[in-house]
Structure 1
Amino acid sequence: MNQKNKVFIATSLDGYIADRNGEIDWLLSLPNPENDDMGYKEFIAQIDALIMGRNTFEVVCGFDTWYYEKHVFVLSNSMTEIPANFRDKATLVKGNLNDILDEIHEKGYHNLYIDGGKTIQSFLKEDRIDEMIITLIPYLLGGGISLFGDLTKTLEFEAVDTKIFLNTIVQNHFVRKR
């Protein structure tokens, strides 16, 4: 069975996914007159489920709308349960990353959207990211929550596509070279 772990995320030019206060409002500050989803619908159509960390889950739970039609697995060793109003949408998973992936794959979910800074970093440390679509928003935040962290080895990716949206935003698509 073909299994892929994919990232679709936006960063500042200096590689941050949230500012120093953990806020992401800067992501929404650029005018988007065409309401272009920048490839998100096409991306999510290829996905069976999402895996996100506790911090990202808490942020999306605070939105007025639940944006995910696919099931969400929340990766957390500190949470004890999913809030009652999200139990039909999300499942808590904890433990060793490879065991968690085996458990999710056994449930029939094979193409996974990996979201959240620490979660993406965990997957990269285990060399479990196959593709990354990274959208660069033209801001320098100068600090905040970084997309990438320390790795024990170099991971090589190949650029397979680059798109420019609204003459401002650059989206790069990378595939892991194995």
Structure 2
Amino acid sequence: MTTYTYYTASTLDGFLADDNDSLDWLLTQPIDDDGPFSIDDLMASTGAIVMGRTTYQWVVDHLARTGEAWPYAAYPTFLFTHDDGADVVDESITVVSGSPAEHREQLEAAARDRGVWVVGGGDLAAQFAESAMLDELIVSFAPAAVGSGRPLFPRAFDFQLLETARNKAFMIGRYRVIGARG
């Protein structure tokens, strides 16, 4: 059975990015790439990736600034957007629109009995949860606050804390999705 995991980082005040979609707060924090809940651990069990348009655009812009290539070329990536004219930077990217449930079969076929990494943003992760297609959240909380911006999870949901760890500056929690509140 395919599992869906929202793996992300957040500020202590619950934001993925500030009002300008900046992740400067994240890029200045120390982390051990081989430490607990590393990206390599996640990728070892990942078969497909999904992300929203804002997250995708941030990644593309960041890669353009650093001169790096698309880092997920080995994984089928699904870009959820309302923009039919979205430019893709790699042949591994498929542009889709609509609800996650409309694409479940395609996502799970692409994942080949491995997991689906819901990169974000928070609104997309919440849409997956509302479609009963989000099993876990793994959130690395950084010792920073930005005051406002893109929320970690913009819907009323309950979660069960399963595990915690520390990776240098980050406090990490792994949560099971219980369901919508009320």
Q: TM-score, normalised by structure 1?
A: 0.85
- 1:100 matched to 2:103? The reply is yes
* Deviation at residue 126 of structure 1 after TM alignment: 2.5
1:105-145, Cα deviation, whole Å (9 max, x unpaired)? 24454521001222112112323210111000011111111
* 1:16-31 map, 5 Å: 16-31=15-30
What secondary structure does 2:134 align onto?
coil
1:114 to 1:94, Cα distance in 2 relative to 1, 3 A:
same
Structure 2 residues not aligned, in runs of 5+ = none
Most deviating of 104-113 and 2-11 = 104-113
Identity of aligned residues (%): 23
Tell me if 1:90 matches 2:89: no
CA distances 1:75-106 after superposition (whole Å, capped 9, x unpaired): 112233443x42x1211112232111122224
Distance 1:30 1:103, change over 3 A: closer
Structure 1 equivalent of residue 53 of structure 2? 54
Distance 1:141 1:72, change over 3 A: same
User: Aligned partners of 1:146 and 1:127: how far apart in 2?
Assistant: 20
Instruction: Please identify, of 64-73 and 49-58, the stretch whose mean Cα deviation from structure 2 is larger.
Output: 64-73
Describe the superposition over 1:132-159 as per-residue Cα deviations: whole angstroms up to 9, x where unpaired. 11000011111111011134xxx43322
Structure 2: how far apart are the matches of 1:107 and 1:127? 19
Aligned to 2:177: 176
2:116 paired with 1:112: yes
Query: In the alignment, what sits opposite 1:125?
Result: 130
Residues in 2 aligned to 1:165 and 1:81: alpha-carbon distance in whole angstroms: 35
Greater mean deviation of Cα atoms: 101-110 or 15-24: 101-110
- Structure 1: 4+ residue segments shifted above 6 A: none
State the alpha-carbon separation in 1 of the partners of residues 82 and 4 from structure 2: 21
Q: Please state whether the residue corresponding to 1:120 is helix, strand or coil.
A: helix
Change (3 A) 1:35 1:43: closer
Gaps of 5+ in 1: none
CA contact (8 A) 2:4 2:116 kept: yes
Q: RMSD of the alignment, in Å?
A: 2.0
